[in-house]
Amino acid sequence: MRSALWLLAAVSVGIVIGGYLFSSTIPRSFLAVSNCGQSCYKPNDIAGLLASVGIHSLPAIIPTEHESIECLAIKHPKPEGRVHFVLFPKRDIRNIMEIQPEDAPYVLGCFALARQIAQAENVLNYRLLTNGPALQHVTYLHFHLIAK
């Protein structure tokens, strides 16, 4: 009886914590168990969901190098050049095709932060790019600032 109460308490705490962590994320596809076709989570969807949770609910765990009110930047773990940062808007936007008018301050904030990083790194020959939905490794709008 006592262990059943502990199990119930642990499950209840898990539900509350999960509800809090995922409360500011946008809905993504439903997790199905078998033969789910297009409705299963793909690895990039899971990565996007975890990025959203980290940015919105657990920002202290993100190794942020640069940050503004609207955007944060981390160093890319496998850089393609001398300078390679990944910039994430502080608003859960899945990809460039889903940008809404209310997302504009966050997207422009990332552009402004990219400019600040380029100035701080003293680079003029750089690229700022994002991938379309089918090319994203992480289903969360992000930009790469790369200088070789």
Q: Which residues neighbour 112 within 8 Å (Cβ) at sequence distance 6 or greater?
A: 68, 70, 71
pLDDT value at position 61?
Answer: 84
Can you give the pTM of this predicted structure? 0.75
* Whether the Cβ atoms of residue 112 and residue 132 lie closer than 8 Å to each other: no
Q: Please name the amino acid found at residue 60.
A: A
The Cα-based distances of 112 to 24, 109, 135, 141 in angstroms read 24, 5, 24, 16
Total structural domains within the chain? 1
* Whether the Cβ atoms of residue 70 and residue 55 lie closer than 8 Å to each other: no
Rounded distance between C-alpha atoms, residue 71 and residue 141, angstroms: 11
pLDDT value at position 33?
Answer: 47
pLDDT value at position 43?
Answer: 81
Residue ranges making up the domain that contains 111: 2-147
CATH number at residue 13: 3.30.428.10
- Mean pLDDT, 10 residues at a time, over the chain (148 residues)? 62 61 59 57 80 82 93 95 96 94 97 98 96 91 96
